Structure 1
Amino acid sequence: MARPQCPRCLRPTTYCLCGLIPSLDSRTRVLLLQHPSEVNHALNTARLAALGLVNAQLVVGEVFEDLPDLLNPPGYQARLLFPGESAQPLRAYTACDAPLLLVVPDGTWRKARKLLHLNPLLAALPRVALAEGAVSRYRLRKAPGPGALSTVEAIVQALQVLETPSSFEPLLRPFEALIEGQIAAMGEAVFMKNHLGG
């Protein structure tokens, strides 16, 4: 029998994270395009980001029929947060800059690339990238390399750059609690053996 689930954060009700999820406003609009395989993932950080940001939207799918509308909210310039040769480093807004619609594909690197392949309009967007060398707090997963962040971490880092000196660190509180809960559930010994090479 399935455990009762919080309808908002989708966690088991005994581990509900809603009390830790902030309600942060941002000049930047965040559009999260989530691969369907991520929806029921225990560490669904895109959902946490969408719940914690007032100006965010989470859309699940592989092919997004309404992508032209999603990518063109009035007054915003769409940019794809995804590495690539043409990706420009993010920089802080100046007074005359139009706010960005930051489009964030959510899934494994392979699934995220598939979303771009299946949605040519998405792949054609100008790209922006985070500074290199960021270290993930995602202690439950071996990152494929430096700078490989979870979705919520990437969004926080992007917003911290764009909207400095505003802080978006509160978005990471439910993420940290999620990690701690997973470690507690598996037990310290298992965590040390599997994730710290102990």
Structure 2
Amino acid sequence: MPRPTCQHCQRPTTHCLCSLIPSLPSRTRVLILQHSSEASHALNTARLAALGLQNVELVIGEVFDDLQSLLNPPGYQPCLLFPDESARPLQAGPGLPLLLVVPDGTWRKARKLLHLNPFLAALPRVSLPAGGVSRYRLRKAPEAGALATVEAIAQALNILESPASFNELLRPFEALIAGQISAMGDDTYRRNHDFS
């Protein structure tokens, strides 16, 4: 028999995170394009970001037929949060607020989203400052500076909307990680996930 699940955060009701999820306004609009294989993942940090922000949309799929309309909301300048050689460092500036498009999935799946969606791949790219350290203690980062989706969004919004802080987005994420570590036990965590 399946465990009862919270309809809002999709966590088991015994581990509901709703009391930790903020409702933060932002000038920046965030569009999260989540690879369909990530949607049912137990540690779905994109969902936490979507629940914690007011000016956000989470779209699940692999090929997005309505992508052109998603990328052109009136009054926003779209850009893709994705590190590569052409990406410019993210910074606050005058002008239209950004539509920050964030692919969600493994690096391989995120690259696949770009390959399958030419409108997405054509967006100007922005990146976070180098040297970010993830709090995602359950996954070994594939490369330096790799962050969970909710961490990347919080850091991006902290830059774009300073002095406003979006660190509250990380509270349910940290509780989720702590709960997973508690459930597996310290010995199992140290044996399989302590990458220090």
Counterpart CA distance in 1 for 2:5 and 2:110 is 27
How many pairs were matched up?
196
5+ long unaligned stretches in structure 2: none
AA matched with 2:22? P
- Give the AA of the match of 1:125: L
Kept after mapping to 2: 8 A contact 1:32/1:58: yes
Is residue 50–residue 56 contact of structure 2 (8 Å, CA) maintained in 1? yes
CA RMSD of aligned residues (A): 1.0
Moved over 4 A (4+): none
**1:36–1:62 Cα contact (<8 Å) kept:** yes
- Aligned position for 1:165: 163
**Is contact 1:23–1:51 with CA below 8 Å preserved after alignment?**
yes
| Deviation for aligned residue 1:197 | 5.3
SS in structure 2 opposite 1:191? helix
TM-score, normalization by structure 1: 0.97
CA distance in 1, matches of 2:142, 2:131: 12
Question: Counterparts of 1:37 and 1:68 in 2: how far apart (Å)?
Answer: 22
1:133 partnered with 2:131: yes
Separation of aligned partners in 2, 1:130 and 1:77: 18
SS of equivalent to 1:30: strand
1:17 offset after TM fit, Å? 0.5
Aligned residue in 1 for 2:17: 17
- Could you tell me how far apart the structure 2 residues matched to 1:148 and 1:178 are? 19
| Contact 2:140–2:195 (Cα < 8 Å) also in 1 | no
TM (normalized to structure 2)? 0.98
Written as runs of structure 1 = structure 2, the 5 A alignment for 1:71-90 is 71-90=71-90
The residue aligned with 2:29 is 29
Unpaired runs of at least 5, structure 1? none
Task: Give the CA deviation at 1:93.
Answer: 2.6
1:104 equivalent to 2:102? Answer yes
Aligned to 1:54: 54
5 Å-filtered alignment, 1:109-124, equals 109-124=107-122
Q: Residue type matched to 1:190 in 2?
A: T
Deviations 1:55-114 (A, max 9, x none): 0000000011110110000000000000111101001233xx210000000000000001
